[in-house]
Amino acid sequence: MSAVVRLKPRALGRLQVAKVTLAHGGGGKAMKDLIDDVFVSAFDNDLLAPLEDQARLDLAGLAAHGDRLAMTTDGYVVDPLFFPGGDIGKLAICGTVNDLAVGGAVPLYLSCAVVIEEGMAVEDLRAIARSMAETARAARVSIVTGDTKVVPRGACDKIFITTTGIGVIRKGVEIGAARARIGDVVLVNGRLGDHGAAILCARGDMALESPVESDCAALHGMIADLLAAVPGVRFLRDATRGGIATVLNELAAASEVAIEIDERATPIAEGVRGFCEILGLDPLYLANEGKIVIAVAPEDAEGALAALRAHPLGRDACAIGRVTAGEPGRVTMNTVFGGRRIVDMLVGEQLPRIC
């Protein structure tokens, strides 16, 4: 039985200005009005409504989902704030939901801390809060606590968001970077690099136009279907900053195995491939916000692909390579020209402020 106590609705404060000022971070009525008008009204749930310094979660309700608590946190500083396929608010919710889901957890609760630059348009702030609320509702998670700070003009770029998530790991699920075995098949759930390309286009300073949209999405539903079909999945990770190249290197290092992928089998949209050729970027290092790398035993590969392809976010899933007995920690790609190249860990920053 839930321990949540429903409170009598209170009157919410209202903002009467178009721009955020330092007073909105001062802890007084202006700050209360900002929090009420922008965040509380958008997020709207019984755990958040008391506005205590902490959310109070029912332990029995958590235990009903599994036997281990999972917790994660991430900061979002993407530029621009609004881009084809998403915005910083959607990104913040999806990113944290996905970080929980790739551990086999059921995402349940989120916190949200925002650092706002003085002078930010209130309408942009409302749009971001609405996007966060809509994405959280669709993902069936609740934003139950948070924090708001306002900093002087120039101290940050419009808004930075930090979300922390709590979920519960399903019983019997064991997923980890050290669990890959020789012979395992490496899968992805679709085309790679769309988020990085979308952000690149949205910045406008490259004078490029493209229909590419970010793949920003909450993947917990697809991952739940995958784990239901193949409980023995060895490894899952979302391929965000650093792209799949970074994820594969982390997997190879932690499991002390080699990984070999096939360029012909690696799905990349023609538009994304064209950007990379023009700008000298490697699509294997472009960020994704709706793609995961998966390692499964060979006998589970077909079942995993079938489960992924049955979900809208996994319909282009495919096998891109295998875990091999080569040099431990080494990732290589068989190229379309018949050669082989090393796919190393990303060195430096290919694109800053991508997520």
Please list, in sequence order, all residues whose beta carbon lies within 8 angstroms of the beta carbon of residue 315, skipping any fewer than 6 positions away. Answer: 190, 308, 309
* Residues making up the chain, counted from first to last: 355
Place of tokens 């609405």: 130
Pairing of strands 318-324, 258-262: antiparallel
Tell me the pTM: 0.94
Q: What is the pLDDT of residues 212-228, one digit of tens each?
A: 899 999 999 999 999 99
Q: Establish how many alpha carbons lie within 13 A of residue 203's alpha carbon, considering only the half-sphere containing its beta carbon.
A: 13
pLDDT at 349 over 80: no
Q: What is the pLDDT of residue 187?
A: 98
Alpha helices per DSSP H over 16-58: 29-34, 41-43
Q: Is the pLDDT confidence value at 251 over 70?
A: yes
Band (162; pLDDT cuts 50, 70, 90): very high
Mean pLDDT in residue range 311-317: 98
Domain 19-49+64-169: which CATH number of 3.30.70.2860, 3.50.50.60, 3.30.1330.10, 3.40.50.2000: 3.30.1330.10
**Integer Cα distance of 352 and 78 in angstroms:** 9
* Furthest C-alpha separation in the chain: 69
Q: Any residues with CB less than 8 A from the CB of 188 and at least 6 apart, and which? A: 239, 244, 266, 267, 291, 292, 293, 294, 317, 318, 320
How many CB atoms within 10 Å of residue 325? 9
Q: How far is CA 29 from the centre of its chain?
A: 34
Kindly state which CATH superfamily the domain 184-342 is placed in: PurM-like C-terminal domain (3.90.650.10)
DSSP label of 142: E
Residue 2 has pLDDT above 50, yes or no: no
Q: Quick one: pLDDT band at residue 1, thresholds 50, 70, 90?
A: very low
d(CA 241, CA 232): 27
Domain with CATH 3.90.650.10 in the chain: 184-342
> What is the per-residue pLDDT across 105-125, written as a single tens digit (0 to 9) for each?
999 999 999 999 999 999 999
DSSP 58: -
> Residue 351 has what pLDDT?
80
Residues of each domain in the chain carrying CATH 3.30.1330.10: 19-49+64-169
pLDDT in tens, 276-308: 988 889 999 999 999 999 999 999 999 999 999
Mean pLDDT, the chain, whole residue set = 94
DSSP string, 298-340: GGGHHHHHHHHHTSGGGTT-EEEEEEESSSTT-EEEE-TTS-E
pLDDT at 208: 61
Summarize the confidence of residues 266-279 as an average pLDDT.
91
Q: From CA 288, how far away is CA 148, in angstroms rounded?
A: 28
